[in-house]
Copies of this chain bind each other. A is one copy, B any other.
Amino acid sequence: MTLQKLAKLAGVSVSTVSKAFSDSREISVETKEQILSLAKRHGCFEKYYKGKFGKQLVAVICPEIRGEFYADFAADLNDKIEERGGMMMLSVSGFSAEREEDLIRYYGSFGHADGIIFVSGSLRLKTEPNIPVVQIGGKYKTEKADYIDIDIASGIDQAVEYLKANGHRKIGYIGETLTASKHRLFCEAMRKNALRLEEAYMVNSKMRFQMAGFDAMKQLMEQKDRPTAVIAAYDYMAMGALRYTQEAGLSIPKDVSVIGMNNVSAAAYLDVPLTTIVSHPEELCETAVDLIFKKMDNQFYFARQDITLKSRLIVRDSVANLTGSSEPSRFCCF
């Protein structure tokens, strides 16, 4: 269906039909409504009534969406975007830089989105995209977009310090293929605290989520000389680890202490409430959405921002105090 054919059907000229779709003043209300309703009946209204959707379109590109952490993160972004009258479109990259490039190219191309929030990317942004981009976390920092970073390092540092203060020296780490950066930060935190890094105390599972936690914890606990505490790359892994200790007849925190990351909602509802590292996701989302709207509303707002948000430890019951003093040391929390 073309405007010409529509004109024939309506018994008017092409120009008139064109005017109907462009909200021109050169047309009577009646003719306009007649033409538009005709177009709707023929299912081509949407095709020509372009651009009048009105809302600002913000594309969010996320490495994954499975599990509560990214879901809540996306929900926070969505809420903030809607508060400002925008609409979120979320796409998943599956941790693939190639796919991220595809998605940015797609959303960055004419008319598909007005701005992009790029979460935890594996891609280094090379070319300046032609719509505003705000990057949250991710492997590579960039000068091509505003950048908001989650300082996971500070959270892991706190966790290691906290364990040390509670008398732990043999501290292990469990992660998986996609959490290599946390593994690195763990090693740094151990060195900073002058604690001995034991290769055998660091296990990266080939599985994911709770299964990965179970698997890695099993490998760790079946050793002769066990660590007294374990930091897990995220809460779901800690949950799997807890499950393994249960089945193996080990008690937490008496036999091993466990610290997770993300403060997933279930963490507080477990058998033994989980001590965990949290990075303020709401605040992060708020900042990101503020930024992207500022840039979408004002195309001359080019000041590159570089914001870093700290993370911190939430102390619950999954860490034992080995120092002999009655209370666990809560030096750094809340």
Asked whether any CB of chain B lies closer than 8 Å to the CB of A47, the reply is yes
Residues of B within 8 A of A240 (CB): 269
Copies in the complex: 2
Chain B residue at minimum C-beta to C-beta distance from A82: B94
| Residues in A16-72 with C-beta less than 8 Å from chain B | 40, 43-44, 46-50, 53, 55, 64-68, 70-72
By size class, the interface of chain A is 35 or more
State the CA gap A248–B265 with chains docked (Å).
20
With A46-B130, A71-B71, A109-B46: A243-B269 Cβ-Cβ less than 8 Å: yes
Task: Tell me how far the C-beta of A98 lies from the nearest C-beta in chain B, rounded to whole angstroms.
Answer: 13
Residues of B within 8 A of A147 (CB): none
Tell me if A88 and B91 are in contact (CB < 8 A): yes
State the CA gap A270–B271 with chains docked (Å).
6
Tell me if B91 and A87 are in contact (CB < 8 A): yes
Tell me if A109 and B49 are in contact (CB < 8 A): yes
Please report A residues at the B interface, Cβ cutoff 8 Å. Answer: 40, 43-44, 46-50, 53, 55, 64-68, 70-72, 74-75, 78, 82, 87-92, 94, 102-103, 105-106, 108-112, 127-128, 130, 209-210, 236, 239-240, 242-243, 264-266, 268-271
17 contacts between A and B (CB under 8 A): A40-B127, A46-B108, A47-B110, A48-B110, A65-B65, A67-B71, A87-B91, A89-B91, A111-B111, A210-B269, A236-B265, A239-B265, A239-B269, A240-B269, A242-B269, A266-B266, A266-B270
